[in-house]
Structure 1
Amino acid sequence: MNTLTYHGEKPQAFIPDRARLSLERNAFVRYGDDVYRINQVLDFKTVVGIDVYSGRAAALPVDGLKPIAQERLDGLYVNYDMESISEEQWAIAKRRFEAIEPLLGDVVRTKAEIKARALLYEVDTATVYRWMDRYKSWGELLALIPRKRGWQSGTVRISAEADELLDEVIREYYLSKTRPTVSKAVSEFRIRAQARGIPMIAESTIRQRISRISDKQFLRGRGFADKARNSYTPSPGSFPGADFPLAVVQIDHTPIDAMVVDDVHRKSIGRLWLTLAIDVHSRMITGYYLAIDAPSVISVAMCVAHSIIPKEEWLIAHGIEGDWPVWGFPRVLHSDNGADFRSESLRKSCSNYGIENRFRPVKRPKYGGHIERLMGKFMQAVHGLPGTTFSNIQQREGIDSDAQAALTVSEFEVWLVREILKYNAKYHAKIFMSPLHKWNVGIFGGRDDTPAMGLPPRPADPFTIQRDFLPAYERTVQHYGVELDVTYYSEALRPWINAKDDSGKTRKFIFRRDPRDISQLWFYDPHLKQYFKIPVANQSFPATSVWEFRAAKKQAVEQGLANIDDDLIKRLIIENRELVESAKATTKKTRRLAQRQKIHQQNKTPALPAATPAPTIQITARPAGYSGLVDDLDDGFEDIL
């Protein structure tokens, strides 16, 4: 066993927090130091809560609420990195989810339904209940992975029959509206055990198991939640298509049909790439990602994270007033068959959050019609901007797009977000209302008794969501640190230097990294179940993207330099940047490189938006043949499928 003693300053640990804030009626939440039961959901911003201790009602802001802390049971994998789970374990967890999926949702399930699923999957009824409890408590596939064999500290060896009976007594007797004491629960276990011929277990074992019940389970089970819910609430396992918000989210990339300019000289640096996500049911745009670089795994990761995470901080950071009340996990992520959408890291991250990856049939574009038409309409609006390239050569004839380009990347992004908010609020002919209204009806219900799904669970920690979708790598830890393009080191790695696995081979560990900034990476400690930020070993090494680093390394190799080292690469990167600085006023390519470096160094992500004021957009040039304001160019959005 490797020692976990650190020499010098102890590195800061980041514990994965995949908790979701339930915003349904009768759910328990924390606001400040107090616990409230949600009595009424007023809108996307406010709920009415009843203080569980004083009984007083209060209006609570949604963005200030926190979920009730869950007890982490020994042996569960809920705080693991997804890449640390074997394919065999994933397969077991998926089969267990398959067994309980039709039973999930907010409708009351009969014992007969539970028993039928148990018979179909050849397990005990109590086992199905236990799987349901775990998944509902944690909301992630990791909770269904078989618990580790062997005894964790604080656990007691009891028979499988006694274990199932104990779960039954807690679920059916202790967590009931009669609110029996722990002593009565012990007596109830003794009575049932004698009737079934099961040996009695120690009273301390029963009390220990009861002490592990989370606050949320305890309060809900003992009479603070309704027994029955709206039987029309959509169930994750029953929808045939996009029948409610977040049932299906489509995602795709497109190049922007307009040139943008750099921040310094305001000269053209070329086109940007847009990754966009849309909720098929409501046609609501759920998230986006804007980049200078061509689409990649990081484009998908950032767009999916942005789609899931609440948008309030994002709008504030961009200085935009408006509402974008979208957050939550989609049931299905629908995309084309590109390698960036089929990556193993994305597949596992989606699977853990209950997101099913579906891909369009090859050469069948109609299956991506919603997102394709949405992007087409956005490009029509872009065609009214200075610097537009239009969509074909015939339209572009006689227009110098580079010369007319006027918007910087940040200015274009502000324009884009405003267009998204306008699109969400405009009438849509195919759904006979605006996407925003359709979204509201799907969440809260309509005048005609339209079924309502309620507010989707709100992610508690945006950083965990974002980190889970970053590309993952497996590497060994050597005495000098870990090698991933460059060398990284931190005291957090010391306990695992030259560690061996069970077969005696050098053990590999999981690292995650944002390729736009390789000055640091995330190390997952398999013993502590925590992440540590690991900096590049050479502290003078500049913050750079993986593309910039590899370009410099290639340059060194082409120069025939035999010994490639970090100091050489660092020097070449700095020299290249100086070259770009001296040349960026003259050529588009070097201006584009300089702007990319600047954007990557800002490290703006969905979880940590850069707090910059909204730039003032001045349209100084218009393509020939176009007139009117940019704000009037969104006509026609209403006919998007």
Structure 2
Amino acid sequence: MSKNTPLDEDLIPFEPNRIQMAIEIGAMVGHGDYVYRIAQILDFKTVVGIEVESGKAAALPIGALNPLKRQKVDGLYVNYDVASIGVKDWASARERFATIEPLLGNVIVGRREVQARSVATGVDVSTIYRWIKLYKEWGELLSLVPRKRGWQEGSARISPEAGQIIERVIKDFYLKKHRPTIQATIKRIKEACEAENVTAPGVSTIRERIKGVPDREFLRGRGFAEKARNKYSPSPGSFPGASYPLAVVQIDHTPLDVLLVDDVHRKSIGRVWVTFSIDVHTRMITGYYLALDAPAGISVAMCVAHSILPKEEWLIAHGIEGEWPVWGIPKILHSDNGPDFQSGDLKRSCSNYGIENRFRPVKRPKFGGHIERLMGTFAQTLKDLPGKTYSNKDDRDGYDSDANAALTFSEFEKWLVREVLIYNESYHSGIYMSPSRKWHLGIFGNADLDPLVGVPPRPTDAHTIQRDFLPSFERTIQHYGVQLDVFYYSEALRPWINAKDEKTGKTRTFIFRRDPRDISMLWFFDPLLKQYYKIPVANQAFPATSVWEFQAAKKKAVDEGHANVNEALIKRYILENRELVNRSESTTKKARRQAQRQRVHSKGSTPANPTPKPVQTETPHPIEFSDLISGDLDDFGDIS
């Protein structure tokens, strides 16, 4: 292997691919070297396809199907990093999405529905059709960002000034407790238009706008606040809008009341946290994320990615035979108001996939009832596990949870996955059947019930979805590369060193994404090539580490009064801390937990890459690094 091999690998581009493959009758898909038209959907595993050239039918495994390549369109913002889009353009894309959103659930969009939507929004029929085609073809909100060239705005049926007057009168006059009539509202709009010298819209247009007022807004504005609350506030067993699979997915975290043991000494390391997501309509668990770290943005990102992605490889990676036929993008992601759910990165990433973020009202716990009950159910399943903890003192008497702890992290995760499959297949009193059966009926129906939705479009690039939900950062690129805690460099950055913004003349910033569990590399989005590149840490001797481990080592260096904290010093502290943990973990729970956290992170098992990497259970002796550290420290960080 040549000396430059690692650098060559860094220059391999990764183009974002957010295309979702339609699994529906009539859809064109690829399998091997052939193109098929789906003629029948047998179940979540198999479809019948007709090969377009020969006309022969074949049973095709859904997991082996590929989407057909799409033709690139100049000026279209698809496959960008969402963090690179300006606020104004992003707002325009969201407005366009709001225009077409009510029509996206239809397999065939009828002319009558589009015309009604045109009247309600003031957007031309042909423009609505064009936006629908773009969004369905590319499957991301970025496709609706105003194009750089050749993008003509749709002509409105009424002037913007008239539209503003209609909205103002509806809000300030019609939606009042004295409940004025529609006729009186029309008269008030025409009077306002005349006063402002604006051409008044037709009566039918005004009536359509009034009919378009959301039901909840209508009830509250017209003095039916209690009725609105009763109709739209969740109560046990119900949730507004969760009328079909993936309409609403709830997500939340909880610590699990069981102690685990480390891989080496099999002694207690404490509790773990789990993040669950559940489909409210079917009660189907759609994803999870297990961690030794307290909940943070990465917990949400990994759980959302796991929820969206197919689970076949995940089950194989954990050595479990079973079915978890859940994938697809939810309509609404519902959570509490924690900062990890409120982050701008999460909101923008969700928006790009058409996911609406909704948050439960403060001090209204029943709004999260389904996910709360799920976590309560799993709390009950822990009672028979070794190492179970108890909140009640009487229950704790005579039982040593630390001494009885027996399961490692990986063993517990395998147990957890099996419990998820058991839960999905077990009878649920709230829906009078199992979540799995409810999920199947919602998608396929039966002799007496029409399907509510079809098979969800299947994501085709797991790594793109996972990367989209990672934290993003804006940084300038200097001659040494880029700094984000540590220094990073690759030849992929060279064309952008000291690049200037053409509009402001200031040094230009670029988008980077990073998994905080492994800061040995980050992702750089090249705005010209529209591709991602892996950018490794400039100091190749720097160990793979998490941002938390790095920050602990840096704090130690600062606390010891070092004037100049450099990567070599931090690297030394990280390795010394690991050796300290390795020596003490047999007697100290905190040290064992820290060592186990490092082992879990180093495996690199993620929803996009479920097969873990082999990892050593013993920390290498630091002697192999001593010559490097005791020698010329200037070598570290030298990227030339």
Short-chain TM bin: 0.7 to 0.9
Q: Deviations over 1:101-124 (max 9, x none)?
A: 112222544333323322333332
1:569 partner amino acid: I
Secondary structure, aligned partner of 1:455? coil
Aligned to 1:573: 574
Aligned to 1:625: none
Check whether the contact 1:488–1:534 (CA below 8 A) recurs between aligned residues.
yes
Secondary structure, aligned partner of 1:509? strand
How far is the alpha carbon of 1:612 from its aligned partner? 8.1
Q: Kindly tell me: are residues 393 and 478 of structure 1, through their superposed partners in 2, closer, same or farther at Cα, counting changes over 3 Å?
A: farther
2:260 partner amino acid: V
- Partners of 2:475 and 2:90 lie apart in 1 by 21
1:432 partner amino acid: Y
Q: How does 1:375-454 map to 2 (within 5 A)?
A: 375-454=375-454
Aligned to 1:509: 510
Say whether 1:529 aligns with 2:530.
Answer: yes
- Partners of 2:613 and 2:468 lie apart in 1 by 26
Secondary structure, aligned partner of 2:384? coil
- Partners of 1:603 and 1:492 lie apart in 2 by 24
Secondary structure, aligned partner of 1:478? coil
How far is the alpha carbon of 1:427 from its aligned partner? 1.1
How far is the alpha carbon of 1:450 from its aligned partner? 3.2
- Partners of 2:289 and 2:528 lie apart in 1 by 35
- Partners of 1:139 and 1:309 lie apart in 2 by 15
Q: Deviations over 1:537-570 (max 9, x none)?
A: 0000000000000000000000001111000000
Q: How does 1:234-633 map to 2 (within 5 A)?
A: 241-501=241-501, 502-611=503-612
Q: Deviations over 1:100-159 (max 9, x none)?
A: 11122225443333233223333322111111111111121111110014xxxxxxx799
Aligned to 2:228: none
Q: Kindly tell me: are residues 161 and 321 of structure 1, through their superposed partners in 2, closer, same or farther at Cα, counting changes over 3 Å?
A: closer
Check whether the contact 1:523–1:532 (CA below 8 A) recurs between aligned residues.
yes
- Partners of 1:327 and 1:466 lie apart in 2 by 14
1:443 partner amino acid: I
1:32 partner amino acid: G
Q: Kindly tell me: are residues 113 and 335 of structure 1, through their superposed partners in 2, closer, same or farther at Cα, counting changes over 3 Å?
A: same
Check whether the contact 1:290–1:413 (CA below 8 A) recurs between aligned residues.
yes
1:591 partner amino acid: R
Check whether the contact 1:319–1:612 (CA below 8 A) recurs between aligned residues.
no
- Partners of 1:397 and 1:89 lie apart in 2 by 62
Q: How does 1:200-239 map to 2 (within 5 A)?
A: none
Check whether the contact 1:318–1:612 (CA below 8 A) recurs between aligned residues.
no
- Partners of 1:421 and 1:52 lie apart in 2 by 38
- Partners of 1:446 and 1:112 lie apart in 2 by 30
Check whether the contact 1:78–1:138 (CA below 8 A) recurs between aligned residues.
yes
Q: Kindly tell me: are residues 503 and 35 of structure 1, through their superposed partners in 2, closer, same or farther at Cα, counting changes over 3 Å?
A: same
Q: How does 1:86-165 map to 2 (within 5 A)?
A: 86-149=86-149
Secondary structure, aligned partner of 1:326? coil
Q: Deviations over 1:361-410 (max 9, x none)?
A: 00111110111011011011112111111344443233211111000000
Check whether the contact 2:123–2:154 (CA below 8 A) recurs between aligned residues.
no
Secondary structure, aligned partner of 1:281? coil
Secondary structure, aligned partner of 1:522? strand
Check whether the contact 2:481–2:488 (CA below 8 A) recurs between aligned residues.
yes
Check whether the contact 2:605–2:613 (CA below 8 A) recurs between aligned residues.
no
- Partners of 2:360 and 2:537 lie apart in 1 by 40
- Partners of 2:9 and 2:577 lie apart in 1 by 35
Secondary structure, aligned partner of 1:67? coil
Q: Kindly tell me: are residues 11 and 259 of structure 1, through their superposed partners in 2, closer, same or farther at Cα, counting changes over 3 Å?
A: same
Check whether the contact 1:287–1:303 (CA below 8 A) recurs between aligned residues.
yes
Q: Kindly tell me: are residues 33 and 248 of structure 1, through their superposed partners in 2, closer, same or farther at Cα, counting changes over 3 Å?
A: same
- Partners of 1:387 and 1:612 lie apart in 2 by 28
Aligned to 1:225: none
The percent of aligned pairs where both chains have the same amino acid is: 66
- Partners of 2:603 and 2:453 lie apart in 1 by 38
Q: Kindly tell me: are residues 59 and 126 of structure 1, through their superposed partners in 2, closer, same or farther at Cα, counting changes over 3 Å?
A: same
Check whether the contact 2:273–2:293 (CA below 8 A) recurs between aligned residues.
yes
Q: Kindly tell me: are residues 107 and 306 of structure 1, through their superposed partners in 2, closer, same or farther at Cα, counting changes over 3 Å?
A: closer
The alignment's TM-score, normalised by the length of structure 2, stands at: 0.80
Check whether the contact 2:10–2:490 (CA below 8 A) recurs between aligned residues.
no
2:530 partner amino acid: K
- Partners of 2:154 and 2:287 lie apart in 1 by 48
Check whether the contact 1:383–1:390 (CA below 8 A) recurs between aligned residues.
no
- Partners of 1:11 and 1:611 lie apart in 2 by 24
How far is the alpha carbon of 1:446 from its aligned partner? 2.1
- Partners of 1:241 and 1:43 lie apart in 2 by 26
Structure 1 residues 267-276 or 397-406, which shifts more?
A: 397-406
- Partners of 1:159 and 1:290 lie apart in 2 by 48
Q: Kindly tell me: are residues 159 and 325 of structure 1, through their superposed partners in 2, closer, same or farther at Cα, counting changes over 3 Å?
A: closer
1:79 partner amino acid: N
How far is the alpha carbon of 1:611 from its aligned partner? 4.8
Q: Deviations over 1:133-186 (max 9, x none)?
A: 11111121111110014xxxxxxx799999xxxxxxxxxxxxxxxxxxxxxxxx
- Partners of 2:402 and 2:546 lie apart in 1 by 26
2:590 partner amino acid: K
Q: Kindly tell me: are residues 598 and 453 of structure 1, through their superposed partners in 2, closer, same or farther at Cα, counting changes over 3 Å?
A: same
Q: Kindly tell me: are residues 9 and 429 of structure 1, through their superposed partners in 2, closer, same or farther at Cα, counting changes over 3 Å?
A: closer
Aligned to 2:172: none
Unpaired runs of 5+ residues, structure 1, are: 1-6, 150-156, 163-238, 614-641
- Partners of 1:604 and 1:159 lie apart in 2 by 46
1:494 partner amino acid: R
1:272 partner amino acid: V
Check whether the contact 1:318–1:611 (CA below 8 A) recurs between aligned residues.
no
Q: Kindly tell me: are residues 571 and 161 of structure 1, through their superposed partners in 2, closer, same or farther at Cα, counting changes over 3 Å?
A: closer
Say whether 1:35 aligns with 2:29.
Answer: no
1:470 partner amino acid: L
Check whether the contact 1:79–1:529 (CA below 8 A) recurs between aligned residues.
yes
How far is the alpha carbon of 1:428 from its aligned partner? 1.1
Q: Deviations over 1:328-363 (max 9, x none)?
A: 000010100000001101001100101110100001
Q: Deviations over 1:443-480 (max 9, x none)?
A: 10023123341110000000000000000011110100
Check whether the contact 2:499–2:507 (CA below 8 A) recurs between aligned residues.
yes
Q: Kindly tell me: are residues 397 and 10 of structure 1, through their superposed partners in 2, closer, same or farther at Cα, counting changes over 3 Å?
A: closer
2:387 partner amino acid: G
How far is the alpha carbon of 1:9 from its aligned partner? 7.7
Query: How many aligned residue pairs are there?
Result: 524
Secondary structure, aligned partner of 2:333? strand
Secondary structure, aligned partner of 1:348? helix
Q: How does 1:175-214 map to 2 (within 5 A)?
A: none
How far is the alpha carbon of 1:10 from its aligned partner? 7.2
Q: Kindly tell me: are residues 267 and 338 of structure 1, through their superposed partners in 2, closer, same or farther at Cα, counting changes over 3 Å?
A: same
Bigger relative CO (Cα 8 Å, ≥ 6 apart)? 1
Check whether the contact 2:10–2:535 (CA below 8 A) recurs between aligned residues.
no
